[in-house]
Structures are given as structure tokens and as C-alpha cells.
Structure 1
Amino acid sequence: MPEPLLIERAGAVLHLRMNRPQVHNAFDPALIAALTGALDAAATDTGLRAVVLCGLGPSFSAGADLQWMRDMAQASETANREDALQLARLMRTLDTLPKPTIAKVHGPAFGGGVGLVACCDIAIGTPQARFGLTEVRLGLLPAVISPYVVDAIGARQARRWFTTGESFDADTALQLGLLHRVVPADALDAAVDAQLALLGRAAPAATAAAKALIRAAGDDLDADARDRSNAALIARLRVSAEGQEGLGAFLEKRTPAWADPDIDGGTGPGGQA
């Protein structure tokens, strides 16, 4: 059996390519475990600046594998709970990864595939991409991915798409905020590389802190506690080595030491998804 996930390092960029094209990159335990393991390793890789997630074949990801769903339908509620927790761990790991992430969505994404897109910091798609949260048609719900999808598109929109189960196109995904850009298929690689180039000029520690700051904005803190937390954060960054280098480079009109001119990432030997 081929590996469910192809992992390729191109300089400071990690490319994760879901490799189950025969089932439209649907999730099964092996793919979930491979993705989670790769992201866990990426989190502690000090030389890594960005992660690009894509799928091989015609689709980005069709969500849950049908055979897996059949098997779990025969399992106990306890077994199903433990199984769902593995998917929940994958989504949380991707969402909280201290590296910027880009979803490269060249084709359809349904169910859990939408969750992956929502968990990435930047999502770029093509007109061939379609989306759907169709779980209600099976008597189910997008429960595990719901925090991330609601965060991406808002509660008002989620009410519609969660309850009707209808699919929507890339332009609608752009309007909803699920995608940040829609580009022609032959421009997808260049669009992703342009984002990687911008990330290469951003300070790595500040980038990780920015992601944590945005997550903390949703915490249930009073105004004074939030002000203290944010003041402590910026003070810590100002006196850090990275902060000192960034300010010094700006004042001296030079490029900061962390800038990586080669972070465009490329498409690698695997080519475009």
C-alpha cells in the first residue's frame, strides 16, 4: 500500500501531500495518524518556516473514508468516541501549530476536508474547488470540525451550511471567508509561492506569537486582563533577540537576519496537487 501522506521538505517549507487519490484523500486512521505525526514534528522544527497542505489526485479531501465509516458504525459508542478524538487531535494540532500553514485547495473538500482548510492560516483555492458540510444527510453532524469552521465563516453562515448540507463553490467559499483567494488552476503554485515569500520576510517567533494572540482574542477575559496580557506580550517581544534584530534592521535600513529569500517553496518533485 502506498504511504497515505507524502512528506517533503523544500528548504524551510514543509509540503504535506495527502496521497489517497483513489478515495479522494478521504480520512482513515492511517492518514489521520500520519498527518498528526508530521505536524507534531513540524511544531518543534526550529528551521521550519511554513507548512503547505494539499491533496494528490482530483480532490483536496472528501472527508471521512466510507469503509472507515462502515466499520465505525458497527463499533461501540466508546470506540467511536475514541476514534473521533483522534480526528479532533489532528484538527487542534493543525489549528495551533506554531508555524504558518497554507491550504492549497485545487479540488473538492467535504466534511473533514473543510475542517482542514478552516484550520490553516491561509487558504488558496481554484475554481475547481467545491465545498460541503453534508453530514446531516447521513444523520450526522460536523461536530469535531465545528469550532474551526464556525471560526472561519461565522455562526450565522454555519447555521445555513450545517443544517442544509448543500455544497458551495469556490467563489462562495471566498465570500464566506473559508478561502482567502481564488486563482486559476495554472496560477495556484505561484499564488502559494507568493504567500511563502511574504512569510519568509516575517519574524518566526513573532509569527508564532501572532497566531497565539489571535486565539487568545477569543478567551473570556475582562478588558483589564486582556490589556495586561497584550501589554506583557509586546513588552516581551520588544526585548527579545528577534525584536531587537527587527527594530535594528529597520532603523539601519538593512534586511533582518531571519529573512529567507529562498522560502518560495517551489512545487517540489511532486508538482502541483
Structure 2
Amino acid sequence: MKPRILLTNDDGVSSGGLWAAYTALSEIADVTVVAPSTQQSAVGRSISIFEPIRLHKVVINGFDAYAVDGKPTDAVIIGLYALKLQPDLVVSGINIGENLSFESIMTSGTVGAALEAANQGTPAVAFSLEVSDQGMKFDDPRSAMIHGEEIGHVVADVCTRILDSGFPKGADVLNVNIPSTIRGGYEVTRLAHKLFHTGVEERFDPRGRPYYWINGPLIDDAEEGTDVHAVRQGRISLTPVTLDCTAPGAFDEIRKQFCP
């Protein structure tokens, strides 16, 4: 029997990236798509606890899928507990735009879905694709079709290795970032500190009242060994991520301050 994969994302159930992943993964597994019905980028691990969640069975590109009126984490929870899919692996992506650095993975709905799956006891991989034009992140995700067998091959290859050999011990999620132009192989990386030079742009509406856009250009590069550096060099970044956010390096100093 083929292994079972629950496929989700944060760009929405009709995203070209999601269906590129579906095409690649269908060669190696029985894949069920359970994804947000609309664009949900940058919602992190938000969960809908103050409103009901609607589930719709839909047909996209000729294939059955489930559209969830909620967040990526909601989609994972619905897939695991309402649909009772019992997947061997949860895959989130392919996200249109890279998810690199502490800064990005803390807000990413793509990584958030994978973290939620891991939190519920199912191993998970998040896939994101670097885009040469940052404006693509804000286009209709249905138009962001991912072309090229190389991208699908990476998704299928990573998942095949994990399904065959088991999930890497010591990691809860594997965060995979694929460069827009692949010029090298895999590199195991750590998270860089930042992905953007954060800024705020003030504008004024027709009545003269201010409003704000959070913006800022991408960081050109980061130190060697980081996910940002690997992708900028054209290599596929593999970053193991844990759910445990404890900072044991601070234990001694906190004990001195609070437990003399």
C-alpha cells in the first residue's frame, strides 16, 4: 500500500504551488488535500477557536479536495480529527515565496501548519519556493503556476527519503526552501536571524488621515551555514525545526536573578 499524505498550505486550496506538490506526491503516495479556502499567508499558528469552521468538498483541476473556511492550522486539525485521515506525513506547500529565518517561520502559515501537525504527533515537512519577483506573493495564487520538473522532483525526493528512512530524530518539522534557480544540491542549515529590513511606510487617505504599510526589502545574504545563504547560493535549504522554544542558555542567569 502507498503511504498516506495530508497536503495543505497557506496560499489557499486553488494555489498553483499546492497542485504542483499534489502532482509530484501522487506518484509516491495517496494524497488528500485539506487546505484553506482562501489566502491565509502570514497567519502563523493561529487557530479558529471563536467561530465555527466550515468544510467543503470541492473539485479542482479534476481532483477532489477539501476547502476549509479557516487557517492552515485549522485545515490540519480538521484533516486529522474530523476527516480522520491518519496520514503518515503532513506536507505543507509549495508556498509561493521563501520562508527563511526566525523572522519568517514565526509568522508563516505554511510552517505554522507543519508545526501544528507535529504538535498533534504527525511528522511534517514545509516546502517554500523562492520567487524572483516579490510581487508574486501578492498575486492571485491561482496564477502562480509552478513549472519545471525540478521543483516537483525536490518535493517527491525529500518526502520519499523521509517515508523510507523515517523522520529525522531531534526535529519536529523539516523546513525546505527551494531557490528560484537551483544551482546546487541539498544543504542542512540553521535559521538566519532575519529575512527583511523591516520598515513602515506612511500614506494618507483622501481625507488626509494616515494609514500604514509594513514593508521593507529582502536581505541580500546572511552568514554561511544559514538558510538564507544557502538559497541565495542556489542550494536547497533543509532546516530542522523543533517545537520547543525553551532557551536553556538563559537558565543560569535567570536562577541568579530569581532563585539566589
- The answer to whether the superposition gives a TM-score over 0.5 is no
Structure with the higher fraction of residues in helix conformation: 1
TM norm structure 2: 0.30
Q: TM-score, normalised by structure 1?
A: 0.29
Flag the structure with higher strand content: 2
